[in-house]
Structure 1
Amino acid sequence: MTSPPQPAAGPVSPLNSPLEPESNRKLAMLLLAIVLYIGVLLLPTPAGLTPAGQVALGLLVLVVTLWISECVSPANSAVILTGAAVLGLMGKSLTPGARPMKSADALAAMLGGFSSTAVLLVAAALFLAVALKHTGLDRRVALLVMSRVGISPARLTLGAMIVGLVLALFIPSATARVGAVIPIMIGITAALGLPINSSLGATLMIVTAQACSIFNMGFKTGAAQNLISLDFMQKAFGRTVTWSEWFLTALPFTASMSVVLFLASLFLLRPQVPPAAEAEAKLRAQLAELGPLSGAEKRLIAVAVLLLVMWSTEGVLHPFDTTTTTQIGIALLLMPRIGVMHWSQAEKLVPWGTVVLFAASISLGTLLSKTGAAGWLAQQTLGQIGLSALPVVMVVGALSLFSIVLHLGFASATGLASTLIPIFIAFAQTLPVTKETAFGIVMIQSFVVSFGFILPTNAPQNMLCYATGAIRTKEFAKIGLVVTVAGLLLIMLLSATVWPMMGVL
């Protein structure tokens, strides 16, 4: 007797899905974040803290849990943050003496970040990154640099760093920059007949990720966390930093860090390169496949150069701020015949979740400041360890170490900046130093929030490179620890020497 036919295998049941444990973990972490938020709200209001300030601290606990656990996407965390804020703030006064807020008032407070010029600048700069990707100019730049530097361990390492430097001038997204470079690095490794997890492949990927973090600090427009930090600083201190001021302040640090990364990669990873004729030929062939510069690429280069000139001469040759000039540049890129893309093409490629998260982070930081929660938290933490009695150099070093350790649990420098910078501002304003020095202390910390060097999970660009299979966590951490320690020592050295002479401290 024949057995009845078995039913065809269908899709895996969600109950048996291999993704079920991960989904359960994410749900558990989401519930934990909500429970912690409610728990903070149910605690007795501490002395010196307003009820609205207690809500702000609860929101900070909520969103930090969401960011560290990555149980929801960054954009989703912004939506959850806004909803929780409205429910928590209703019936409470934003500042002492103000009328209790209705739901519309609470929502308006949490949407305030969307009106920040920093959010507009981030969105515009992401459009610039899309233009580079759309025209293929980012790939041409990477191939051109790598084909010119030559094939040797030192030259290839230097080439990877130069590519990162050039792209950092125009692309504010670390993920976008590294995403453009990774295929080139994989191609170079393959052209040399080496596996991606060879010593050369690992070196190129680690350098690509670590150099990206270094150059994030080098340019005001290099990373979203720079802009969110400056937005908080401008509101607190009543002054901002031009593109050229940021560049000159960061230059001695980023230049020194680049040297450290270059030497550490060569001596600790010891990449090996076979005879290079084939690789050089393949690089030239890939570059030749691109053909001559297209009209769109030429127009994009013209706009990019114009923007670089306008950024670097802000406050010197013209009165326009970085946001305004960037908006003008994007308008040119979207114009018929003059531009390089249409809105319908660009909007599909812009990571709008990044913009939403950025705006929500500004709203949270502003709420922490307005309610006095940032000042209270700074006094209860940093104020209790006697930093105010230490020299400025030691204060900078202690704050930097605090930030570096906390970064081990963060995958987003934007999230870290929105968490720490308002607290550092509140603390710096309590120190017995001038307003200019307090501003300088916070500005240096806005560099340190980009210290995502140690673990692959410390930054999105690290994870992109790690996902290629070229890197082992041990290799990444070995270089990352050296670069981090050197960076901390450089921060303190420059705080004692160069930066005071430049008027930063």
Structure 2
Amino acid sequence: MADKKAPAPGKILWIVIGLVVMLGLAFAPPIEGLSTAGQRVLAVLLFAVIMWVSEAVSYPVSAIAIIGFLIVFLGFAPVKGTEGALLGTGKAIPMALSGFINTGWVLVAAGLFMAACILHTGLEKRIALTIIKMVGTKTNNIFAGMILVTLVLTFLIPSITARSATLTPIAMGLIAAFKVDKKSQFARQLLVCIAIITSISGIGVLTGGAPNAVASGFIAKSLNSPVSWGQWLLWSEPYCLVMSLAFYFIVTRMNKFEFDEVPGGKETVHNALAELGTMSPKEKKISVIFAFTILAWATESFHHVDANTVAIFSVLLMLAPYSGVATFKDVVNKVDWGTILLFGAGISLGETLLSSGAAIWLAKSSLGALGVGSMSLYMMIAVITVGILILRVAFASITSATAAVVPTIVGFLLSLNNPSLPMVGMTMLSTYCVYFAFLLPVNSPQAMIPYATDTFETKDMIKVGIPMTIVGLVLYFLFVFTYWTWTGMI
């Protein structure tokens, strides 16, 4: 019997193309200014990008391929330059796995376990329903409530995809409880709201999105200027809040809903809360743990315990006997191990791009060739921003987009050898751009989750996604010239 899960011919073709391109570059004649190791790491990057864009293989499989190819290609490359003794696969293994000891990876992995623990307790449902009860059940207020819920959950669920997976069933439950047609304008835009606001919410908090953790890891290691949880919040959360407010007006003003107030809304929300009953001991425990976790993150500058270490001990408290809310067995299947694997491999690829000199060469050959390095600071930011937004459309994963973009930007900044440039701020600005996935559901898993409910169509997301992208960019440059300059980020 034929394997029903066998790759489609089109995907096989993309795999072949990826392998041919990778091998062609890896064993091509030496490129001027690039070491053999750097040339081969670039070859692995090209293969990875082709796999990510074409989705010929799953992200976890692409991660394993990245690790394997890095080990082989680095192991059989000279230690330095283009000639001399080979590094050896044994010494290449730590380089290929370096992403798994990176602070960014630690924060992502811990965050996914934290998200699994809070989902196990069901506290997120109580928070969502309580906020909706507070804002009321007028149509516009429901959207305000969902946006507010998302922003609150950003502090509790350090995963964009997990937040989307949490809010989507809550929204579908409300639609069913309100007895609203799931193809109605209200229902369609409520799911679009989740698809977009979950992306926006990740910008504001260091632990709110995986790209932030990757960026902070590269900033700390390559730029030697670690950004604390509180500092990230100070620089990023105001922009996130203004973006969220703008999105609220766009989604509610650009759509004409079937009713001004959801039929039977107050009673439905009241009944749903009544079904939950009083807070369980597990909900109380995790509330206390998260309160101390957020407090520890916010006061990092006083006790000097970094956010990654705080996250690790927070997970320990959640899983430990007596203080815990779940066992490892309870949450192990709720953790997205594919994301953990992809992030580790993506960070390893980024670090080897930097250590081999490939990132700097790539940046000089692309951004440098455009003369970006000789531009004024604000023009440089504008060109880099537009470039990232165009590149972002090609990726279906915020993780893969981050792995490709951030090390290239860091490499470019390092290649300029200009200490007067706000390198930390420019890296953070580049990270914000990765979140601009407002147009197509396929550009991010957090949008694909609500899209999979078959409630809205791509055109529904584009309808609010285009103005949101335009307004988001206007606000972005407004912040560049005002708040981010005033606060010393750039």
TM-score, normalised to structure 2, is 0.96
Q: What amino acid is the match of 1:260? A: A
- Relative distance call for 1:53 and 1:330 in structure 2 (3 A) is same
Matched, 1:351 2:336: yes
The residue aligned with 1:4 is: none
By how many angstroms is 1:388 displaced?
Answer: 2.1
| 1:86-97 correspondence runs (5 A) | 86-96=71-81
Given that residues 228 and 414 in structure 1 are in contact (C-alpha distance below 8 angstroms), is that contact kept between their aligned partners in structure 2?
no
Given that residues 195 and 201 in structure 1 are in contact (C-alpha distance below 8 angstroms), is that contact kept between their aligned partners in structure 2?
yes
Given that residues 203 and 271 in structure 1 are in contact (C-alpha distance below 8 angstroms), is that contact kept between their aligned partners in structure 2?
no
3-state SS of paired residue (1:218): coil
The one of 83, 102, 105 equivalent to 1:116 is: 102
Matched, 1:209 2:209: no
The residue aligned with 1:10 is: none
Matched, 1:14 2:27: no
By how many angstroms is 1:448 displaced?
Answer: 1.1
Matched, 1:442 2:406: no
The residue aligned with 1:167 is: 153
By how many angstroms is 1:243 displaced?
Answer: 0.7
Given that residues 57 and 368 in structure 1 are in contact (C-alpha distance below 8 angstroms), is that contact kept between their aligned partners in structure 2?
yes
Given that residues 139 and 262 in structure 2 are in contact (C-alpha distance below 8 angstroms), is that contact kept between their aligned partners in structure 1?
no
Distance 1:326 1:435 in 2: 34
Distance 1:453 1:323 in 2: 29
The residue aligned with 2:24 is: 39
- Relative distance call for 1:275 and 1:425 in structure 2 (3 A) is closer
The residue aligned with 1:260 is: 246
Given that residues 203 and 237 in structure 2 are in contact (C-alpha distance below 8 angstroms), is that contact kept between their aligned partners in structure 1?
no
Matched, 1:451 2:439: no
By how many angstroms is 1:416 displaced?
Answer: 1.1
Matched, 1:297 2:299: no
Q: What amino acid is the match of 2:143? A: T
The residue aligned with 1:177 is: 163
- Relative distance call for 1:137 and 1:95 in structure 2 (3 A) is farther
The residue aligned with 1:418 is: 403
Of structures 1 and 2, the larger Rg is shown by 1
3-state SS of paired residue (1:217): coil
| 1:117-136 correspondence runs (5 A) | 117-136=103-122
Distance 1:363 1:491 in 2: 30
- Relative distance call for 1:91 and 1:184 in structure 2 (3 A) is closer
| 1:315-354 correspondence runs (5 A) | 315=301, 317-354=302-339
Given that residues 261 and 483 in structure 1 are in contact (C-alpha distance below 8 angstroms), is that contact kept between their aligned partners in structure 2?
yes
CA deviations on 1:289-342 (whole Å, 9 max, x unpaired) are 111000110010000011111111111x31111011111111111121211011
- Percent sequence identity over aligned pairs: 31
The residue aligned with 1:218 is: 204
Unpaired runs of 5+ residues, structure 2, are none
| 1:265-304 correspondence runs (5 A) | 265-273=251-259, 276-304=262-290
Stretches of 4+ aligned residues off by more than 4 angstroms: none
Unpaired runs of 5+ residues, structure 1, are 1-12
CA RMSD of aligned residues (A): 1.8
The one of 362, 370, 394 equivalent to 1:377 is: 362
- Relative distance call for 1:84 and 1:432 in structure 2 (3 A) is closer
Distance 1:335 1:108 in 2: 31
3-state SS of paired residue (1:348): helix
Matched, 1:468 2:456: no
Given that residues 192 and 274 in structure 1 are in contact (C-alpha distance below 8 angstroms), is that contact kept between their aligned partners in structure 2?
no
- Relative distance call for 1:216 and 1:148 in structure 2 (3 A) is same
By how many angstroms is 1:117 displaced?
Answer: 2.5
| 1:52-201 correspondence runs (5 A) | 52-96=37-81, 99-201=85-187
The residue aligned with 1:5 is: none
Given that residues 104 and 215 in structure 2 are in contact (C-alpha distance below 8 angstroms), is that contact kept between their aligned partners in structure 1?
no
Distance 1:122 1:80 in 2: 21
Distance 2:212 2:260 in 1: 41
Aligned residues: 489
Given that residues 232 and 422 in structure 1 are in contact (C-alpha distance below 8 angstroms), is that contact kept between their aligned partners in structure 2?
yes
Distance 2:143 2:398 in 1: 25
